[in-house]
């Protein structure tokens, strides 16, 4: 539900507010608001959190990472389960997407599940 409240928020590099947000700012805000988890602010650092999850086992809340060879992690989104995710797109702002889209399928670099330790 919290992610849907952000739909249409414009993309702004370095942004963390509803007036403008980037991809890692979006996941940073959602994890803080929904789970009280303080993720690192940058996508490449978020990719080091939690445990790896195979694409076939994605659950809502898993972090999805995208990149290109020799460039590392460049983008992060939030799984809604299955192949659907929500992210802050440079061209469309916060929007829904699918891992079946050729652009994202070819750049998928892995997923992580972040949980609170008791």
Provide the β-strand partners of residue 68: 72
Indicate which residues carry an active-site annotation: 23, 75, 87
20 exposure class (CB count in 10 Å sphere: 0-12, 13-18, 19+): middle
- Give the distance from CA 83 to its chain's centroid: 13
Residue 8: burial class (beta carbons within 10 Å; 0-12, 13-18, 19+): exposed
């Amino acid at each position: 539900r919290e992610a849907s409240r952000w739909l249409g928020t414009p993309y702004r590099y370095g942004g963390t507010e509803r007036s403008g947000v980037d991809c890692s700012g979006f996941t940073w805000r959602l994890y803080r608001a929904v789970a009280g988890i303080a993720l690192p602010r940058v996508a490449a650092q978020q990719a080091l959190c939690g445990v790896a999850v195979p694409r076939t086992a994605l659950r809502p809340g898993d972090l999805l990472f995208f990149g290109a060879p020799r460039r590392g992690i460049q983008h992060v989104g939030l799984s809604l389960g299955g192949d659907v995710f929500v992210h802050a797109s440079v061209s469309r702002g916060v929007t829904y997407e699918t891992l079946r889209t050729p652009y994202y399928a070819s750049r998928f670099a892995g997923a992580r599940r972040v949980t609170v330790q008791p």
